[in-house]
């Protein structure tokens, strides 16, 4: 990986284990006497439990524990709304809900025992349509919802509601030169990490250690503490290497189930999901959405007003979706300067699998809708789509949809870079076109912390609560520390992914690791650097202000011969005050807003927002509806890039995931709310064979309110604008707009042939 200068490379601390296959993942772990877990799932989307009989399972050979809701504390939990219990209590609300859990001596025995559990249901009406769900006559997914503890705005089948109001949209639309209304529908989809979920729990007295394939170990620890009613000092969560997550492994999932089984069986217990379970059971899939928006333009093509209504498919439980309506509203407004905005968004309960923080939640769908709408607006007033975006894009000093005034940002630079790289405007074949879309995503500014020390041999160690999910963000912390104290990144070891070692951290979510942990590591390293300079000054008979730390040496500025090795200074320090540093990385203050926000979840003011523009060349076969992505030009304003190679990898991965969301990835449900394609044969992922050439530009506008060196996040932003740019390219070729995501061949064919309304099935 490259340092900020782009000239020095170092080997990632986790690299050799991963590329040689010697690294251990949670599913690889084995403990003496270990048992295996299996769950019994609801299998229906909505029903009342009439009878649940586990006696036959308990009596089967090799079975040491069988648990139901009767065997765990009576706790209801949930982020924003306490709407869930560990095991189904009286009612099941989606097909993958856990009804019972088994621990046995072999995986086969555990599965057989789970299958032997007898239950009888009284089926209830399945609520599977978000528009019908909010109707007053619709049955309730949660009959007792008013009694749940909650911090959100709620209503009939609405788990969370938010609105953003700026200016006077009614008056502005009435006076507008042109008004355009659009409707878009996005299907749900999945994160689909290649590593399936795995959890292993072991008790020692009244303390439990849990090894889990989670992106958020501290969140998992908190969930175990809450649901099993345990203090935090008795719950330790450790994450071995993580085989991807993409948000699907955020949140608290099954750690408490496995811990409870291990306690009941008095043996370690391990759970490893099958691929079908990975699709149906976790409460983290990408949410389906229905988006309606209206925009008014003046005679010059400037957007003067926008209204919108967004319905987000919550699924059966809120998971971590309380903030989804507010962030969706911001994406429906888009990165445009619009003086009058009125957008409402509702997170709606259904009997589908719960939604959650899959990479940039609500953003790809919202961007796809608003950027398709943007091309419609440009066509209405006779402007080129790129020029229309240049005219309306936010820029430094502009006011965003929540009334936030922006500092230095590079959206216009992104547009210029992407269209230049894509050779936008050149002649193409009749079945090819370049679509353009812009997107944005917040930088999550949250507290973090780190400890840094220099050992007596001159090596370093970083202790952090951060979680590495494959992006390389945690690995880059070595680079930041090395730059501060004059060592090489390889000189540092990492202690991380263990709640018993590092300070609290939000986890590998929200593109926040390098931004927030980086601030903490830099602060801790600066303390050590100050101590090294004082030590060197004493040895070299100079002032600490004249000492520089570089290439493993402390030396007097302008006098290279007057130097001493940092390792020698560390040895000197080992005989007295040790070289220890700590940093807490206080987050920057959120900017002020002037909009009226109902149901505010803290997502209307964006610290160091990221911007992007994707220009994507597509080829459409009108006879079959098959779309090929020929090339992608991706330009990003992610602030100062600390690790160019790692950042480029994030763009490559995000773009490819976005191509899948655009063209092939979508969950298909039957009319009872059960998934019809929960497997990799039926659910089409993009692979390396599908990857087009991707050119990447980072415009490098430093963020004064961002992370180290003016950095911003990068992991989620590349996923935002991809589907939208593809959609705009397809529309240019077929002459019709697709209004349902994904834009599968049959939908493209129907739009092209005119056999049905664009976007229909």
Mean pLDDT over 53-75 rounds to: 97
Averaged pLDDT of the chain: 94
pTM of the model: 0.95
**pLDDT digits 0-9 by tens, 469-526:** 888 899 999 999 999 999 999 999 999 999 999 999 999 998 899 999 999 999 999 9
Predicted pLDDT at 5: 36
Q: Lowest-pLDDT range, 62-71, 198-207, 348-357, 580-589?
A: 580-589
For 314, the enclosing helix (H) or strand (E) is strand 303-315
Please name which of 408, 417, 368, 428 lies closest in space to residue 390, comparing C-alpha atoms. Answer: 417
Q: Indicate the length of the chain as a whole number.
A: 761
What pLDDT was estimated at residue 576? 63
The predicted model gives 590-608 an average pLDDT of 94
Structural domain boundaries in the chain: 26-124+194-244+250-280, 289-444+599-753, 446-583
Whether pLDDT at 759 is above 90: no
Of 84, 96, 87, 86, the residue nearest 45 (C-alpha): 96
Count CB neighbours of 131 within 10 A.
Answer: 11
- Checking if the pLDDT of 10 tops 80, the result is no
Cα–Cα nearest to 114, from 198, 38, 50, 52: 38
Mean pLDDT (whole number) for 683-701: 95
Evaluate whether 708 touches 522 at the Cβ level (below 8 Å). yes
Average pLDDT over residues 689-716: 95
**DSSP conformation class of 515:** I
Instruction: Tell whether the model's pLDDT for residue 758 goes beyond 80.
Output: no
- Residue 9's pLDDT is what? 63
Residue 294 clears pLDDT 50, i.e. is over it = yes
- Give dist(CA 190, CA 275) in Å, integer: 12
Q: Are 496 and 464 in contact (CB under 8 A)?
A: yes
Q: Which two tokens stand for residue 74?
A: 């009576």
From residue 489, give the alpha-carbon distance in Å to each of 143, 208, 263, 460, 478. 56, 34, 42, 9, 5
Do the first three CATH levels of 26-124+194-244+250-280 and 289-444+599-753 match, i.e. the same topology?
no
pLDDT > 90 fraction of the chain, expressed in percent and rounded: 91
- State the CB neighbour count (10 A cutoff) for residue 196: 18
As a whole number, mean pLDDT of residues 386-394 equals: 98
pLDDT of residue 755: 39
How is domain 289-444+599-753 classified at the architecture level of CATH? 2-Layer Sandwich (3.30)
What letter does residue 299 receive in the DSSP assignment?
A: T
Give residue 163's pLDDT: 97
Assess whether pLDDT exceeds 60 at residue 6. no
- Which pLDDT value is given to residue 15? 83
pLDDT, tens digit (0-9, with 9 covering 90-100), for 533-563: 999 999 999 999 999 999 999 999 988 789 9
State which H helix or E strand residue 230 sits in: none
Tell me, which fold does domain 446-583 have in CATH?
Aldehyde Oxidoreductase; domain 4 (3.30.365)
- The arrangement of secondary structure in 26-124+194-244+250-280, i.e. its CATH architecture, is Alpha-Beta Complex (3.90)
**Alpha-carbon distance values, 34 to 103, 104, 269, 622 (Å):** 10, 9, 6, 56
User: pLDDT tens digits for 175-195?
Assistant: 999 999 999 999 999 999 999
Matching residue, tokens 């690791």: 513
Q: pLDDT at position 577, please?
A: 66
What is the SS3 string spanning 411-437?
HHHHHHHHHHHCCCCCCCCCCEEEEEE
Dihedral angle, C-alpha 38, 44, 50, 52, nearest 10 °: -10
pLDDT above 90: residue 7: no
pLDDT of 373 > 90? The answer is yes
pLDDT above 80 (res 612): yes
Taking the C-alpha atoms of residue 40 and residue 48, their distance in angstroms, rounded to an integer, is 16
Which SS3 state, helix, strand or coil, does residue 212 take? strand
Question: What's the pLDDT score for residue 2?
Answer: 31
pLDDT at 586 over 90: no
Which pLDDT belongs to residue 588?
A: 87
Distance of alpha carbon 258 from alpha carbon 250, whole angstroms: 17
């Amino acid at each position: 990986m490259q340092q900020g200068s782009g000239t020095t490379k170092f080997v990632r601390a986790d690299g050799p284990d991963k590329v040689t296959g010697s690294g251990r993942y949670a599913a690889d772990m084995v403990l003496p006497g270990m048992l295996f877990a299996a769950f019994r799932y609801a299998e229906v989307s909505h029903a009342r439990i009439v009878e649940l009989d586990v006696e036959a399972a308990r009596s089967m050979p090799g079975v040491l524990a069988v648990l139901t809701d009767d065997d765990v504390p009576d706790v209801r939990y949930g982020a924003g709304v306490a709407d869930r219990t560990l095991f189904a209590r009286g009612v099941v609300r989606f097909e993958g809900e856990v009804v019972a859990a088994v621990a046995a001596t072999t995986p086969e025995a555990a599965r057989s025992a789970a299958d032997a559990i007898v239950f009888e249901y009284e089926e209830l009406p399945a609520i599977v349509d978000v528009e019908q769900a909010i109707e007053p006559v619709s049955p309730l997914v949660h009959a007792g919802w008013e009694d749940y503890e909650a911090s959100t705005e709620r209503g009939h089948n609405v788990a969370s509601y938010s609105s953003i109001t700026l200016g006077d949209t009614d008056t502005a639309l009435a006076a507008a030169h042109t008004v355009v209304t659009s409707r878009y529908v996005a299907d749900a989809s999945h994160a689909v990490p290649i590593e399936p979920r795995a959890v292993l729990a072991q008790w020692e007295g009244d303390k439990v250690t849990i090894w889990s394939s989670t992106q958020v170990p501290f969140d998992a620890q908190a969930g175990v503490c809450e649901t099993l009613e345990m203090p935090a000092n008795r719950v330790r969560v450790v994450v071995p290497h993580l085989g991807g997550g993409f948000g699907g492994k955020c949140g608290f999932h099954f750690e408490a189930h496995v811990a409870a089984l291990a306690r009941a069986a008095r043996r370690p217990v391990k759970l490893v999901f099958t691929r079908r379970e990975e699709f149906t059971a976790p409460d983290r899939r990408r949410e389906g959405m229905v988006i309606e928006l209206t925009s008014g333009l003046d005679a010059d093509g400037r957007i003067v007003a926008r209204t919108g209504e967004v319905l987000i498919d919550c699924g059966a439980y809120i998971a971590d979706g309380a903030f989804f309506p507010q962030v969706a509203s911001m994406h429906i407004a888009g990165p445009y300067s619009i003086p009058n905005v009125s957008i409402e968004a509702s997170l709606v309960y259904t009997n589908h699998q719960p939604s959650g923080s899959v990479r940039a939640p609500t953003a790809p769908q919202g961007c796809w809708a608003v950027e398709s709408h943007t091309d419609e607006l440009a066509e209405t007033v006779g402007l080129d789509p790129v020029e229309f975006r240049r005219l309306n894009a936010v820029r430094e000093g502009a006011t965003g949809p929540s009334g936030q005034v922006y500092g230095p940002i590079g959206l216009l630079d992104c547009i210029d870079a992407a269209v230049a790289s894509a050779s936008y405007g050149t002649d193409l074949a009749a079945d090819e076109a370049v679509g353009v879309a812009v997107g944005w995503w917040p930088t999550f500014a949250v507290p973090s912390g780190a400890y840094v020390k220099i050992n007596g041999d001159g090596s370093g160690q970083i202790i952090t609560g951060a979680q590495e999910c494959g992006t390389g963000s945690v690995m880059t912390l070595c680079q930041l520390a090395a730059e501060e104290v004059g060592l090489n990144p390889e000189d540092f070891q990492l202690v991380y992914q263990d709640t018993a070692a590092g300070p609290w951290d939000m986890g590998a979510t929200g593109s926040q690791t390098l931004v927030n942990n980086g601030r903490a590591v830099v602060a801790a390293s600066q303390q050590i650097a100050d101590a090294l300079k004082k030590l060197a000054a004493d040895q070299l008979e100079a002032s600490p202000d004249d000492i520089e730390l570089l290439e493993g040496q402390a030396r007097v500025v302008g006098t290279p011969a007057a130097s001493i090795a940092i390792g020698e200074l560390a040895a000197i320090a080992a005989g007295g005050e040790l070289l220890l540093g700590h940093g807490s990385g206080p987050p920057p203050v959120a900017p002020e807003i002037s909009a009226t926000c109902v149901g505010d979840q803290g997502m209307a003011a964006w610290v160091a927002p990221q911007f992007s523009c994707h220009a994507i060349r597509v080829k459409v076969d009108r006879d079959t509806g098959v779309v090929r992505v020929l090339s992608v030009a991706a330009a990003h304003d992610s602030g100062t890039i600390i690790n160019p190679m790692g950042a480029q990898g994030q763009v490559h991965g995000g773009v490819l995931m976005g191509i899948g969301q655009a063209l092939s990835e979508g969950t298909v449900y039957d009319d009872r709310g059960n998934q019809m394609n929960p497997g990799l044969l039926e659910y089409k992922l993009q692979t390396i064979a599908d990857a087009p050439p991707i050119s990447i530009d980072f415009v490098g506008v430093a963020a004064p309110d961002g992370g180290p060196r003016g950095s911003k996040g990068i992991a989620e932003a590349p996923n935002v604008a991809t589907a939208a740019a593809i959609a705009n390219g397809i529309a240019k070729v077929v002459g019709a707009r697709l209004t349902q995501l994904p834009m599968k061949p049959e939908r493209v064919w129907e739009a092209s042939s005119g056999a049905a309304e664009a976007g229909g099935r």
